[in-house]
Each structure stands twice: as structure tokens, then as C-alpha cells.
Amino acid sequence: MINARGPRGRGATGARTRQPASQVLKKLWKYLARYQWLIIAASLLSVLANILALLSPRLSGAAIDAILPGSVNFPIVIRYVLLMVLVAALSAGLSWLLSAMMIRLSRSVVKQMRADLFNHMTYLPVSFFDTHQTGDVISILSYDVDTVGASISTDLTQILTSLITVVGSFSMMMSISPVLMIIFLFTIPVSIMFTKHRSQKVRPLFSARSRMLGKLNGYNEETVSGLKTIRAYHQEDEFNDRFATHNGDATTATWRAEHYAVKTGPTVNLINNISMSLVSVFGSVLYMLGGITLGGVSSFVLYSRKFSGPINEFANILSELQSALAAAERVLGLIEMDVEPEDAPDAADVIHCRGEVEFRDVSFGYTPDVTVLHDVSFTASPGKTIAIVGETGCGKTTMINLLMRFYDVSKGAILLDGRDIRSLKRSSLRRQFTMVLQDTWLFDGTVYDNIAYARPDATREEVIAAAKAAHIHEMILSLPDGYDTVVTGSGSSISKGQKQLMTIARAMLLDARMLILDEATSNVDTRTEHLIRDAMLALQKGRTSFIIAHRLSTIVGADEILVMDKGRIVERGTHSELLEKNGVYAAMYNAQFDHAGPAA
């Protein structure tokens, strides 16, 4: 979903300068070049198949010339007919083999391209996913990659075949009658100029179609994920109207691209038919004048059909080529997106982390013109618990993003054990943290796999111990296959609270020096929250912990509470100290609890 923070880089489908087709093809060739021997073999097969196909008109003409008025040389006619059948069979067999090889090439390229795209996507900065629709990215990963693959398996074969057929037919026609070739001096340039003109007009339309389809997919993904909320607020009609708008834009863009492209084929076909008519007329005149045999006229007409056919076919597949180029540009554009900046050359690994964290005059903004944090300073001693509270949008989660180096500070510094975290390797820094977030995430796999996600080498006893500590062991045993029960990525087979408990068990299993709890109990009922409180305290023991909480009952034991307001720390202290101040924190606390309430 588009984030109000604003983009920090080029978007996969954002405003980009359209690259020339030659540049896109050059980049695409890097994938094809990996299979150059397969391409060479396919080219040789194409040459052989088309040479054999080009022999048929010549054999047909020789058979016709063997038929004279009043006499027919049957042995010669039958011999040429049998040769035509043999040539056609061999050509068909080689063409089938060529198609099989091109499908294999397409499959290999698509597999590699999709793997490169997915691998690259996992290293893109968090800012990219904060500013791009998930559905649009998925559209590139699936639809656009498949479009490129389909073009390789079909269009590339047709282009290669057409090129050989055009050159071969031209050579054959020149050998039969150079005089009749004068006709093509006029019709061929017209066809080429018209096709080139249309291709320049069509490609931007297909780029627009890809963008509109990406927006439609993004909207669909957003709607499906929030369908329960939409129904709860009776907004079905509103979202149907919005879908109709997105669907209409995508349909209009598709219609414009394909309608404009489809006109090319019939127009080029008309030009080719005119040239065929002229060949028939002038060929007949030339035959009457004795300048060519009847079989020569027949062969020339057949070769002219083969010559003009590929030109017409190329015009017909022009729309598919432009669609493939637009798709390839989106795919390659995403692959070329800048990944998370590399660590400094002298960046060090974190060794023997004590867990002392200091924010020193930290300021930050997701965009240069909007500052989210203003001169934030505090120190978290090793093993202490820091709670961060405040109204929505005050900068709590931003502080965690900076701590994990999902973003880097704009001003000031964050220090871990006295060292600027920018001087540390990101991967090493992040291994020092374990996180439990408000947005729970499970993947397709067993309950055991999901809990042991961060420690694949964990023993079953360790996983069970973590589940017991998170008070989810009994629930897991009630599932059909216990710890071997398969859950879907959406976790639809278990409740939100159970999902959150599983992620807490996952955090308990990971032995990290620092802990981040971002509304970790937001989806847990009050009774369960009390049950896991001791387990959470055990989890925090010996770890430097950062807790973002709206339920103030979960942070009353924190060593220090930071109260944020509009990106600044306005109050700090323990729970009792802040209540005595009777300031912002006290107002927040009193809004949630009565003074005589259980939390007090």
C-alpha cells in the first residue's frame, strides 16, 4: 500500500524514462546468452527447416513445367511430388523439434529471471515496500515475467523463421525473374515504414496497460486482505465502485493498446495482397512474351506469398512484441532497483554484544522536507527495559526502524556498546535482536517449522519448551497433528491470538541480546495476557528490551518509560515517577484505568 511517508527511490512502475527497445533487448540478451548453445542449435534447425520449406515451390514449378500441352511426363511429375512430400515431412519434423527447443529455452529463461527478481526483491530496502503496492510487485513477478517467457517461446521463433524465409524467398525470386522483383521495390519500403511507425506508437500504450494492470492487481490484493473490514462497515458498494474505476482504466488501456496494434496486420496484409496482384498480372504478361515459363510464374507467385507472409506475420505479432518489451522493461527495472546500501568497507561484526543502546541527538525524516523525529536522546543500559508510548504517529515505530537500520538516521547517531551502528554490518546487527510485532506473520509449513523459524537447528524439546513458556503448548496439542499440523501463510486455521502466541514462542526460542516488542500482546485477550506476562518477563531477563505499547498495563515494570509526542521525548521516568508528575503519561494512564483498577 502506498505510504504517506513518500517514496525514497524509483518505483518499479512509477515515473520512469522509457528505455529504447534496443537497450531493453540488450539487457534481455544477458539472460539468453546463458543458453547460447541452445540458441545456436535452434538457429541451425530453423535454417534447415526453412530451407527445406523453400524447396517446395521450386519443385512445384518443375513439376508444372513437366506437364506440356498434349503430353505429361508422369515419372518426372511423380518424382517431384514425392520429393515435395519428403521435404514437407522433414521440414515439419525439424519445426516441431525447433518449437520444443524454444519452449525449453523460454522455461529456463523465465525460471532464472523469476529467481533473480525474487532474490533481488528480498534485498530491496524497507522503504521500497513502504511506498509500493504489494499487488503491483506480484504482478511483475508473475504476469510480466510470464509475458516475456511467452514471447521468447513463440515470437522469437516466428521472427527467426520469418527472417530466413524472407531472405530465402528473395534469393529464389531473384533467380527466377529479376524483372518481377521491381514490384517489391515499391511495396516493401511502404510496409517497413508503416510497421516501424506503428511500433513506435504501440509500445507506450502497452507500457500504460502494464501499469494499469499493476494498479488493478494492487487494489485487488488490498481489497481481498481487508474484506472482513469492508463488510463490517458495509462498504461493499463503495469498493465495488472503486473497482469499477480501476477495472475501467485497465480495460481502456488494454483496448487502446490492442486496438491500435491490431490495425497493423490488416494494413500490411492489404499492401502484400496488392503486390501479389501485381505479380500475377505482370507475371502473366511476361509469360506471354516468353520471358518466363508457366512453372516459373507459379514458383514466383508461391515464393512471393512466402516472402510477404512473414512481413504480414511480423505485423500481426507486433502487439505481442511490444507487450513483451513493456513487460521486460518493468521486470528489468525492478531488478535494477537499488538494493539496501552496502555496509561500509570497514564495517565490523558485532562480537560479545552487551546490549547498551544510546540514541544521541537523533533526527530523522522519511522525506527531506518532513522530520519525524527531533533530537531524540536516551540510553538503554544492558538488560534494562525501555518502554516507548505515545499517540499514533508520534514516532515510536520509526525509532525501531532506525534501531534495526531499516533506515539510517538523518542527524545524530545510534550507538550499540559505544559504537555507531552505521559502522556495523547490518546482518550482524540484526542478529542481536529478536522481534515480536503487532502484525503476526506465519508461512506455509508446520507449527514446529514456524516456531523454529529463526533457529532451524533447534531441537524438538527446545521448541516445546518455548511453546510452554508462551502458554500455547496445550493449544498446539489440540490440533489434528500437534506440532506437525500444517498452517497456511495466512494462519486462517488458527485465531489471531494463537498466531501471536506462536510468534512469541518463536522469539523465546531465539537467543538474542536485545528484544523488541511492538504491541506484542495486542491480539491477546486479557486473561491470556496475564498468563504470558511472567513468560514475557522471563524473556526480557538479561536482554535489553524495547517495548512499544498502547496497553499501559504491560509496561508498568519497565525500567524507563519514554513518552513521545510529535517526534520528541516529552517525559521520561518509571511508571510511578510519571504518575507523580501528573503530566502526559498520567493523562494516558488515567484514560485507560480507574485509580482503583487492577493495573493500579
pLDDT digit string, tens, across residues 559-589? 999 999 888 999 999 999 999 998 888 888 8
Question: Do 348 and 331 lie in a common domain?
Answer: no
| Mean pLDDT value of segment 282-302 | 73
For the domain that residue 329 is a member of, what is the CATH number? 1.20.1560.10
Same domain, 360 and 284: no
Asked if pLDDT for residue 413 goes beyond 90, the answer is: yes
Task: Please give the tally of structural domains in the chain.
Answer: 2
The answer to whether residue 466 scores a pLDDT higher than 80 is yes
Determine, yes or no, domain membership for 303.
yes
Identify the pLDDT of residue 358. 93
Among 302, 335, 368, which residue terminates a domain?
335
Domain shared by 311 and 410, yes or no? no
CATH code for the domain in which residue 376 is found = 3.40.50.300
> Are residues 145 and 189 located together in one domain of the fold?
yes
CA dist., res. 28 & res. 106, Å (int): 12
Residue 96 CB neighbour total at 10 angstroms: 12
User: What is the C-alpha to C-alpha distance for residues 222 and 231, in angstroms, rounded to an integer?
Assistant: 14
What CA–CA distance (Å, rounded) separates 306 from 379?
80
- Beta-strand pair 514-518/433-436: parallel
Same domain for 349 and 301, yes or no, is no
The residue out of 285, 313, 335 marking a domain boundary is: 335
- Residue 528's pLDDT band (cuts 50, 70, 90): low
Q: What is the predicted pLDDT for the residue at 4?
A: 35
Nearest to 578 by CA among 567, 587, 591: 587
* Domain assignment of residue 187, given as a range: 23-35+105-155+173-335
The answer to whether position 287 is within a domain reads: yes
Least confident of 98-107, 224-233, 479-488: 224-233
Q: Is pLDDT of 247 > 80?
A: yes
The reply to whether 495 falls in a domain is: no
In a domain, 95, yes or no: no
- Distance in Å from the first CA to the final CA of the chain: 40
Of 513, 514, 487, 512, nearest to 501 by C-alpha is 487
- Calculate the CA 243 to chain-centre distance: 22
Same domain, 265 and 400: no
Task: Please state, for a pLDDT cut of 90, what percent of the chain lies above it.
Answer: 9
> Are residues 203 and 326 located together in one domain of the fold?
yes
Domain co-membership, 268 together with 410: no
Mean pLDDT value across residues 493-513: 79
Half-sphere exposure of 416 (CA within 13 A, CB side): 26
Clarify whether residues 308 and 200 are in a common domain: yes
Check if the beta carbon of residue 190 is closer than 8 Å to that of residue 196: no
Q: Are residues 225 and 357 in the same domain?
A: no
Encoded amino acid at 592, one letter: Q
Residue 481 resides in a domain: no
Asked if 269 and 382 sit in the same domain, the reply is no
The verdict on residue 216 lying in a domain is yes
Please state which of the ranges 294-303, 355-364, 552-561 shows the lowest mean pLDDT. 294-303
The helix (run of H) or strand (run of E) holding residue 429 is helix 426-430
**Domain contains 71:** no
Q: Is the pLDDT of residue 361 over 60?
A: yes
Q: Are strands 445-446 and 544-548 parallel, antiparallel or unpaired?
A: unpaired
Per the DSSP assignment, residues forming a β-bridge with 416 are 357, 419
**350 and 306 in one domain?**
no
Q: Give the integer Cα–Cα distance in Å for 508 and 504.
A: 6
**Domain endpoint, select from 312, 335, 358:** 335
pLDDT band at 414 (very low <50, low <70, confident <90, very high): very high
pLDDT in tens, 293-334: 777 777 777 777 777 767 666 666 666 777 788 888 888 888
Residue 258's alpha-carbon distances to 158, 194, 206, 445, in angstroms, are 20, 17, 8, 42
Which pTM value belongs to this model?
A: 0.65
CA 310 – CA 163 distance, rounded (Å): 8
What's the number of CA atoms in the CB half-sphere (13 Å) around residue 181?
Answer: 12
Residue 103 C-beta-side C-alpha neighbours within 13 Å: 6
How confident is the model over 79-99, as a mean pLDDT?
A: 84
445 in a domain, yes or no?
Answer: no
pLDDT given for residue 12 in this prediction: 42
- Average pLDDT (102-106) is 84
pLDDT of 343 > 60? The answer is: yes
Residue-level pLDDT at 1: 32
* Residue 126 phi, psi dihedral angles, 5° rounding: -60, -30
Among residues 467, 435, 466, the alpha carbon closest in space to that of 548 is found at: 435
Average pLDDT over residues 281-303: 73
